[in-house]
Structure 1
Amino acid sequence: MKTFCKDYHLTEEIGRGRFGSIRRCVNTETGEVLACKIIHKADLRDSLDRECLLNEIATLKYVCGHRGIVELRDVHENDECLWLFMELCTGGDLFDKIVEKKRFEEKEAAVVMKRLMETIGYCHRKGVAHRDLKPDNILFSSNSFSNDIRIADFGQAASFSPGEKMSGIVGTPYYVAAEVLQGKDYNEKVDIWSAGVILYVMLSGIPPFNGDTPQEIFEAVLRERLRFPNESWLTISHSAKDLIRQMLRRDVLRRLSADQVLGHPWIVENCSEVFRR
């Protein structure tokens, strides 16, 4: 293996991750500009943190090849640090876009959801559930909204076989599925629930289940009925609301799959012109 210093030149910091910084870097041989996630091993609190990190690397290598997943190009390690060299996405993340736009037009939200479901459907067919979908983990490849998204942060991902259940409370407040919070075994449709929450937030600027603390949010997810308050939803189509209802069904058997979301009339009608170009 070539030496790390010879391969890459690190430049400015462009973000912070759970275990360290993310810096822009240049491959000194090809000139390609990448993102480098730098993990300081001393910052890994326990074996679970290390397992999460190794899981992300293994999963990214396994699901590589789909344009909707951020590409892991190289990994370097020494006694103190681990460097993950990844595709650079210059358009920010979906959380930034929501803060900037406040609310998405339905056609814009449908394009994002179509691309997200195409990627999640690919992962599910490969036997991988992301389990931590949220706007922060959905990146834009460039500043142009029309460009592709990339799903990142597979540290909580899990592999499964057809019909196999998963377990463990993972995910992020606001986006975690009800069955996960109930401590039940669950399947890959936890990702559909998370995507449904993301769609709700994109269209209205508010979460469907709210609270001042994580515990209050979890209680709202478990107890509250899905609502579409008039002040935020009056001008949004019935078809959009129908899709969200079907993505946020508590009955997992009736909750849509990724392919069924893609076939919903709201996605088809709002994306037909964009994807015909």
Structure 2
Amino acid sequence: MSESLKRDYQICEELGKGRFGTVFRCLSSESGESFACKTIVKQQRLLSDPLDRECLEKEAKLMQLVAGNPNIAQIYGVYEDDSALHMVLELCSGPDLYDRVSQRTFSEPEASAVMSSLMEAIAHCHRCGVAHRDIKPDNVLFDEWNRLKLADFGSAECFAEGARSTMRGIVGTPYYVAPEVVSGRDYTEKVDVWSAGVVLYVMLAGMPPFYGESAAEIFEAVLRSNLRFPTRIFHGVSPAAKDLMRKMLCKDVSRRFSAEQVLRHPWITSGGEARSVTDLI
């Protein structure tokens, strides 16, 4: 482990593991404050392959690029040694959104509050030219004051570098991935809006809008994009909330809302209180 990291922080218990690394709690040697340390172990080939090394370092660079928004987990330091890259991050000790939606469905005001903060984070990323590309409840964290923090930029990508405004590559999580990603076409930052729309649906329904018994079946359902609101589940959900979900989960990317448009939708601006279609006019 990096000597400078050991000098600045005391590494404590493991908090969790992801595809790209292990997260530990750590204590600042100077202030005693708790942080999270995400450790990404290098493979041997990373030492000689510039492209793989670029991927390893990208998460830290993109987190620094979008830093400053109160709804994005902050990065405080990057350390490197021969075997790993270590990122010191804001500690989010509350249950994540996955844990919360696993226990119950949300009321419309509760879901609107979460969606407002999440879309503020996504809109900020997009203004910075960064697409998160893996929006899902597991990556929506909360700090000890219950403030939402978007985390895990391991799949993120720049889309405004030079003339390049589109991206390629199948990344993300089956239930939450946009149809244009599954189809293998070029896509834009609006993939994040689609994924956030799935998150909203899950909060209100307790289940995803497109599902299957395997990843292949889920992808087929996503490609069909047959958005339904079963009466037995959505009987109490307002037309305004359904209107927003239709505009976020729109297969036609040119008609799909941007993050900024989601934030201006009456269901969001009213805190989930806009009920009827006439409230949208």
TM-score (norm 1): 0.90
Runs of 4+ in 1 over 6 A off after TM superposition: 43-49
Q: Distance in 1 between matches of 2:247 and 2:36?
A: 37
Tell me the alpha carbon deviations over residues 254-275 of structure 1, each in whole angstroms, 9 at most, x when there is no partner: 1111111111111111268xxx
Tell me the alpha carbon deviations over residues 74-128 of structure 1, each in whole angstroms, 9 at most, x when there is no partner: 111111222211110111211011112x201110000010011111111111111
Alignment match of 2:58 (pick from 36, 49, 55)? 55
User: Does the 8 Å CA contact 2:179/2:225 hold for their aligned counterparts?
Assistant: no
**Bigger mean CA offset, 15-24 vs 68-77:** 15-24
Q: Distance in 2 between matches of 1:241 and 1:115?
A: 19
Alignment match of 1:124 (pick from 114, 123, 126)? 126
Q: Which residue of 1 aligns with 2:277?
A: none
* Superposed counterparts of 1:73-88, under 5 Å: 73-88=76-91
Q: Which residue of 1 aligns with 2:39?
A: 38
Q: Which residue of 2 aligns with 1:250?
A: 251
Percent of residue pairs identical: 52
Whether 2:154 is the aligned partner of 1:155: answer: yes
User: Does the 8 Å CA contact 2:225/2:251 hold for their aligned counterparts?
Assistant: no
Whether 2:64 is the aligned partner of 1:65: answer: no
Unaligned runs of 5+ in 1: 273-277
User: Does the 8 Å CA contact 1:123/1:129 hold for their aligned counterparts?
Assistant: yes
Alignment match of 2:106 (pick from 98, 104, 107)? 104
Instruction: Tell me the SS of whatever aligns to 1:174.
Output: helix
Tell me the alpha carbon deviations over residues 146-191 of structure 1, each in whole angstroms, 9 at most, x when there is no partner: x321111112111123882222221110111011111111111111
- Tell me which amino acid in the other structure corresponds to 1:21: T
- The structural deviation recorded for 1:50 is 4.9
User: Does the 8 Å CA contact 1:17/1:37 hold for their aligned counterparts?
Assistant: no
Relative distance call for 1:175 and 1:266 in structure 2 (3 A) is same
User: Does the 8 Å CA contact 1:55/1:156 hold for their aligned counterparts?
Assistant: no
Cα RMSD (Å): 2.2
Q: Distance in 2 between matches of 1:44 and 1:198?
A: 36
User: Does the 8 Å CA contact 2:132/2:156 hold for their aligned counterparts?
Assistant: yes
Q: Distance in 2 between matches of 1:213 and 1:265?
A: 36
Relative distance call for 1:44 and 1:21 in structure 2 (3 A) is farther
Q: Which residue of 2 aligns with 1:275?
A: none
Q: Which residue of 1 aligns with 2:15?
A: 14
Whether 2:141 is the aligned partner of 1:113: answer: no
Tell me the alpha carbon deviations over residues 235-271 of structure 1, each in whole angstroms, 9 at most, x when there is no partner: 1111111100000111111111111111111111126
Instruction: Tell me the SS of whatever aligns to 1:85.
Output: strand
- Tell me which amino acid in the other structure corresponds to 1:183: G
- The structural deviation recorded for 1:52 is 3.6
Aligned residues, how many?
268
TM-score (norm 2): 0.89
